[in-house]
Structure 1
């Protein structure tokens, strides 16, 4: 990525290169403090559906709703971000995150909770665009900033999952979300430190139904395979392998996912700066495909740990690759498209896993998924046609 869009934030002077680092760090802290309001819901809602006034089927709908609104709303959020800038976008989003968490705690029933999920979905979209756009605002050290950003962001869910589980045992799930709402409000001072926006022309993200680029396809496949098939399949295969401790084992693997991003995010950025971000993305994707194949062949925990660790390396890489491919005014729309395709894949992945795992052998499902992920990664490495 070359420079931050004129419509997004004022240009960062060359004499103060640390401004990009500071802005990226502050945006990451905002998302890190607010993201537990979502990740902890994934832990507590299915286990306590009745306490929230919903059925298990309705809980599944609620967990998917935030992705649906992001798929439909990323273009709008990207245009709003470019007009208003990261300070306004992240301040409003932090209030939205706190409000949605209060909704989980105080407003039981499907319709109130659905409204809260939709508010969270749009809030996350704004903060997600901000963290990626600010990390890639200056081309120099963009991958390094992206790696540090992922480490900061992932620390929030990692602590939130552990603390939320412990607090829920003692005080119930609603109390957890009251606490998380207060934690989300702690993000406001960091949001207010972000750069202000500047009015100006906004580049359209392109037709809603335009053909995806090869990077968009890779993002869809990554969401489908690593955030969809892998996560749901891990629970199912763990239950088959060890019925007694499946929940604890799968939950530990999920927490390890965020720990991997905290520990491996900064090294991933440094490696990308040295060897090339796109090249590293392809290599890590191919290695992740090998981990999925191991899962399917019966090496469940070896494959799971490999995929989780590689995901920690992979997370910081897509944004700098997209930024380099679509510099200038096309950068923020490209980041929004990338996130939209990933959400679409991550939403369809669990549905596919739920339908196919009962009827297909694991080696066939995971082998096919690994093959598609490897093919999408190789396609990213091919030269772009002008």
Structure 2
């Protein structure tokens, strides 16, 4: 059987990466040049950089509803237009409230990109290629983070913030012809409202689907929430304890984050392809969860610097595995007539985890310290690994019984 074309996946992933450039640049530029943006306090920077995640929590369901009526191509084009508008606004508008609107526009754009991307992966893959294509999709759009952070800050200093945001918005608009050429405009059809209600009710009765939602939430909470927001603080504390240094933590953090986004386009598809084979995704997911818990439990301890860096490197590899396996499990379960509903809720749960991570993380650091935060995060992961291990054992038992017959 011929494998579906992966061209639409590559196109939507690269278009997403291009449209991300302005958002990722903002994470480097705004904390340094916040007065340029007409801001009066640093707390406004924190709110603006998190607003796009918060808006996605209530908006995801509406975006899923839109995809049922307008199709993938129209949804992705809406995402590009919103991304271009928000990126252009970063350099043109001044003041907290106007920038807050621009950040919310990007949050809505990302919801359209994320759900549209998952749907494209589903329509362009089969059971033998889904994991590989999920990894390919995640790896390619992750390049937007890499180049946005590396080039955005550099270009902002050379040619100015306003010029960079205008340039990035032009790049975004220039991707529209590729969307028209390679992304089809199919949409899910539903027979009657009664069938729709029954289908959504069945989803919540399916323990495996609900488990994938919880897994997406916890993985996003750990990777995009807690670790992404507190890693620089952790490195700063570790450098101060071990080396007596308090400088360079931001540079090291940026380098470590860049490493993952650099290898993701190559490693993530390979991991997905491995998970498409005999043993499937669950054993790899279990191993990644246990490895992540192990690393998180050791991070706050007083460690030799070489061992600490080695653990950071191992954890970054593990996050690639976690994200690829979590997304692939959800894609497997979404394949079928409920794909938009499942993907919408999976994206919603992931966004909740990513939004809760920084909030709860910094509250815990203030009250209990960073050591307690990382140990608690490690403890949250272990029960999830145990749960998936039980699921895997049941599947193996059922398989053996069927083979025995």
The alpha-carbon deviation at position 72 of structure 1 amounts to: 0.4
CA gap 1:175/1:301 in 2 versus in 1, 3 angstroms: farther
**Are positions 1:130 and 2:130 aligned together?**
no
CA distance in 1, matches of 2:111, 2:188: 20
CA distance in 1, matches of 2:372, 2:66: 43
**Are positions 1:254 and 2:240 aligned together?**
no
The alpha-carbon deviation at position 355 of structure 1 amounts to: 1.6
CA distance in 2, matches of 1:341, 1:170: 40
The alpha-carbon deviation at position 198 of structure 1 amounts to: 4.3
Of 72, 88, 93, 1:102 maps to 88
Summarize deviations over 1:328-386 as a string: whole Å, max 9, x none. 1222221221111111111111112212223434433212201201222332444399x
Of 164, 167, 186, 1:197 maps to 186
Give yes or no for contact 2:272–2:328 (8 Å, CA) kept in 1: no
CA distance in 1, matches of 2:188, 2:329: 27
Q: 1:108 is paired with a residue of what secondary structure?
A: coil
**Are positions 1:328 and 2:336 aligned together?**
yes
**Are positions 1:115 and 2:91 aligned together?**
no
2:216 maps to 219
- What is the 5 A alignment of 1:150-189? 150-189=138-177
Q: 1:52 is paired with a residue of what secondary structure?
A: coil
Give yes or no for contact 2:22–2:152 (8 Å, CA) kept in 1: no
Unaligned runs of 5+ in 1: 1-13
Worse-matched range after superposition: 104-113 or 136-145: 136-145
Between Structure 1 and Structure 2, whose CA radius of gyration is higher?
Answer: 2
1:145 maps to 133
Give yes or no for contact 2:334–2:343 (8 Å, CA) kept in 1: no
2:387 maps to 379
The alpha-carbon deviation at position 315 of structure 1 amounts to: 2.3
Alpha-carbon RMSD across the aligned residues, in angstroms, is 2.3
How many pairs are equivalent?
A: 368
Q: 2:366 is paired with a residue of what secondary structure?
A: coil
**Are positions 1:230 and 2:211 aligned together?**
no
Scaled by the length of structure 2, the TM-score of the pair is 0.84
CA distance in 2, matches of 1:320, 1:277: 8
CA gap 1:36/1:380 in 2 versus in 1, 3 angstroms: farther
The alpha-carbon deviation at position 77 of structure 1 amounts to: 0.6
Give yes or no for contact 2:219–2:322 (8 Å, CA) kept in 1: no
Give yes or no for contact 1:262–1:312 (8 Å, CA) kept in 2: no
Give yes or no for contact 2:78–2:109 (8 Å, CA) kept in 1: yes
Give yes or no for contact 2:130–2:331 (8 Å, CA) kept in 1: no
1:357 maps to 365
2:399 maps to none
CA distance in 1, matches of 2:99, 2:363: 26
1:8 maps to none
Give yes or no for contact 2:27–2:149 (8 Å, CA) kept in 1: no
Worse-matched range after superposition: 290-299 or 157-166: 290-299
Q: 1:18 is paired with a residue of what secondary structure?
A: coil
Unaligned runs of 5+ in 2: 240-244, 395-405
Give yes or no for contact 1:29–1:190 (8 Å, CA) kept in 2: no
Summarize deviations over 1:199-226 as a string: whole Å, max 9, x none. 732846958xx79922222222112212
The alpha-carbon deviation at position 230 of structure 1 amounts to: 1.0
CA distance in 2, matches of 1:270, 1:172: 42
CA distance in 2, matches of 1:246, 1:282: 31
The alpha-carbon deviation at position 234 of structure 1 amounts to: 1.2
Give yes or no for contact 2:293–2:382 (8 Å, CA) kept in 1: yes
The alpha-carbon deviation at position 142 of structure 1 amounts to: 0.6
Worse-matched range after superposition: 141-150 or 320-329: 320-329
Summarize deviations over 1:12-68 as a string: whole Å, max 9, x none. xx6x6333x122222112212112222221222122211111221111111111112
1:23 maps to 8
2:270 maps to 267
CA distance in 2, matches of 1:162, 1:133: 30
Give yes or no for contact 1:230–1:292 (8 Å, CA) kept in 2: no
Structure with the largest fraction of helix: 2
CA distance in 1, matches of 2:355, 2:187: 34
Give yes or no for contact 2:215–2:326 (8 Å, CA) kept in 1: no
Summarize deviations over 1:258-281 as a string: whole Å, max 9, x none. 123223112111121123123322
Give yes or no for contact 1:136–1:143 (8 Å, CA) kept in 2: no
